[in-house]
Structure 1
Amino acid sequence: MILSSASPAGVALSLAAAAAYAVPAAGASRLSEAAARRALQAAWLLHAVVLVLGFLGQPLFGFAQAVSITAWLVLTVYAVERQLFPQLRARWALCGFGSAAVLLALAFPGVPLNVRESPWLPLHLALGVASYGLFAAAAVHAWILQRVERSIRQGAEPQAGVPLLTLERLTFRFATAGFVLLTATLVAGIFFSEALYGRAWRWDHKTVFSVLSWIVFATLLLGRQRFGLRGRRAVNVIYIGSVLLLLAYVGSRFVLEVVLGRTP
């Protein structure tokens, strides 16, 4: 139910964060660099407060919260990278993503997260969401990499402002880190399912898509190491693996929470 569990303060903070994200997203060409940076910093901070408030008291979690945390993690990565590579240009797209993610989490607050059943459950969820964030960062860098390659082929000036090889290295570093965390998440889910969820491990939609995503990213990294996989093929593999991972948790929970109206 929309806004069913949101406090007035939570609603106000969420709307403020979404509006702050929308400022640099909608006015990217009209704002000065300093003004856009201040708006992004304010949005990032408000978003962080919204996430913290959501886990106080009786924590709620669902597909929208996973998307919201993923967006915040990606924007955190972007903020750090901007200090190292000031010429990196992807603010308007990421701010649009952040604004949409905050509003999505406001509309679908999720279901109560029963952490009393297992103290390890928050850690397992944290590993999974962190892998989402790293793979999302890899997908964003792959998108920027694709734009730069297209600009070079057309003889135009690259729009990202970051050397192609640097973008490629960053893309695979994020993919590798995400793969490590995804592996840890799958291992914990398979071998410690009873401790985490109070039931034996089983094949379900979430598990199938997670394993398929793991296979895709394992193929990507092995192909990179053994055969020098790069360019458009590597970018497409990253997209495929990211979509499969998105379907694993966000997709399955969306169907359960919204389409079927059931509590997982």
Structure 2
Amino acid sequence: MILSSASPGGVALTLAAAAAYAVPAVGAARLSETAARRALLAAWLLHAATLAWSLFGDTPRFGFAPAISVTAWLVLTVYVVEKQMFPQLRARWALAFLGAAAVLLAFAFPGSPLHVTVSPWLSLHWALGIAAYGLFAAAAVHAWMLSRVEHSIRQGAEPQAGVPLLTLERLTFRFATAGFVLLTGTLVAGIFFSEQLYGRAFRWDHKTIFSVLSWGVFAVLLLGRFRFGLRGRRAVNVIYIGSVLLLLAYVGSRFVLEVVLRRPA
């Protein structure tokens, strides 16, 4: 933890974002649809300001917790956009809890100070990787919603997601496909242009191994989907496995360095 390095502005933004997320998370049953939507939008904007402060403030930092925070913000961005297309979508309280937890975690573990990059392309490489994280996280959230809908249908109850089953399924695989494309680009750049990006020859480390394993899992998922019609619980489980492997790639390795070993990345 590096709480002592937190600036007053960063503390204020973090607390404001967490409090804003708590409104639709805790008071979902008592708020009107309009009030809950406005509260979540305010939290989303404050979350964005918190991320901007941590990345472009006096001492820019990044690590496993900020990566989770960026990923959570991207998932919420997807939700905000989808809510415009599918007003009946229901996942506000769960995503609000996710946003609050991500903001507080990034405040507790802000990561290591960022250094001058070796290559101007490195920022783009990182952006592609984080975007892939966000898309796969969105796919995992939709897979969770898909499982809930299927369970409700089997139990003869009314589905709680508010979106038809087939629509949720299409969205899930669209996010998985888009994430797979970005992850492929990130891996190709990291493997074949390592010297240009990092100033060193490519090497197989834990981050690369878990990323390649995740890529393989999602390749099997998409091949199974488009060639053999893979769907249902098996597809959801494959998405979970691939997402966990990708989470271990960067977030897991940085967590070990920052929290377990207490070494700068």
CA distance in 1, matches of 2:185, 2:48: 25
Partner AA of 2:166 in structure 1? L
CA distance in 1, matches of 2:206, 2:133: 17
Aligned-residue offset at 1:116 = 3.5
Partner of 1:43: 43
Whether the 8 Å CA contact 1:131–1:181 is kept in 2: the answer is yes
Partner AA of 1:23 in structure 2? V
Partner of 2:184: 183
Whether the 8 Å CA contact 1:21–1:96 is kept in 2: the answer is yes
Partner AA of 1:25 in structure 2? A
Runs of 4 or more, structure 1, over 2 Å off, are: none
For the structure 1 residues 205 and 116, does the alpha-carbon distance in structure 2 shift closer, same or farther, using more than 3 Å as the test?
Answer: closer
Q: Does 1:87 align with 2:71?
A: no
Q: Secondary structure of the equivalent of 1:55? A: helix
CA distance in 2, matches of 1:199, 1:4: 34
Structure 1 unaligned blocks of 5 or more? none
Partner of 2:23: 23
Name the TM-score, length of structure 2 as normaliser.
0.97
Cα shift readout 1:92-120 (whole Å, capped 9, x = no counterpart): 11110000000011111111222332211
CA RMSD of aligned residues (A): 1.0
Partner of 1:219: 220
CA distance in 2, matches of 1:200, 1:76: 36
For the structure 1 residues 122 and 4, does the alpha-carbon distance in structure 2 shift closer, same or farther, using more than 3 Å as the test?
Answer: farther
CA distance in 1, matches of 2:117, 2:82: 38
Decide which moves more: 19-28 or 240-249: 19-28
Decide which moves more: 215-224 or 116-125: 116-125
Partner of 1:253: 254
Q: Does 1:132 align with 2:130?
A: no
Cα shift readout 1:44-63 (whole Å, capped 9, x = no counterpart): 11111111111224421100
Partner of 2:70: 69
CA distance in 1, matches of 2:42, 2:113: 29
Q: Secondary structure of the equivalent of 1:9? A: helix
Structure 2 unaligned blocks of 5 or more? none
Q: Secondary structure of the equivalent of 2:3? A: coil
Aligned-residue offset at 1:27 = 1.4
CA distance in 2, matches of 1:260, 1:145: 38
CA distance in 2, matches of 1:27, 1:91: 11
CA distance in 2, matches of 1:181, 1:115: 24
Cα shift readout 1:23-71 (whole Å, capped 9, x = no counterpart): 1111111111111111101101111111111122442110011000000
Whether the 8 Å CA contact 1:115–1:122 is kept in 2: the answer is no
Whether the 8 Å CA contact 1:62–1:109 is kept in 2: the answer is yes
CA distance in 2, matches of 1:143, 1:68: 20
CA distance in 2, matches of 1:147, 1:66: 27
Cα shift readout 1:131-161 (whole Å, capped 9, x = no counterpart): 0000000000000000000000111011111
Aligned-residue offset at 1:263 = 1.1
CA distance in 2, matches of 1:129, 1:115: 19
CA distance in 2, matches of 1:187, 1:85: 35
Whether the 8 Å CA contact 1:115–1:121 is kept in 2: the answer is no
Name the TM-score, length of structure 1 as normaliser.
0.98
Q: Secondary structure of the equivalent of 1:4? A: helix
Whether the 8 Å CA contact 1:4–1:109 is kept in 2: the answer is no
Cα shift readout 1:176-227 (whole Å, capped 9, x = no counterpart): 0000000011011101111211211111111111000000000000000110
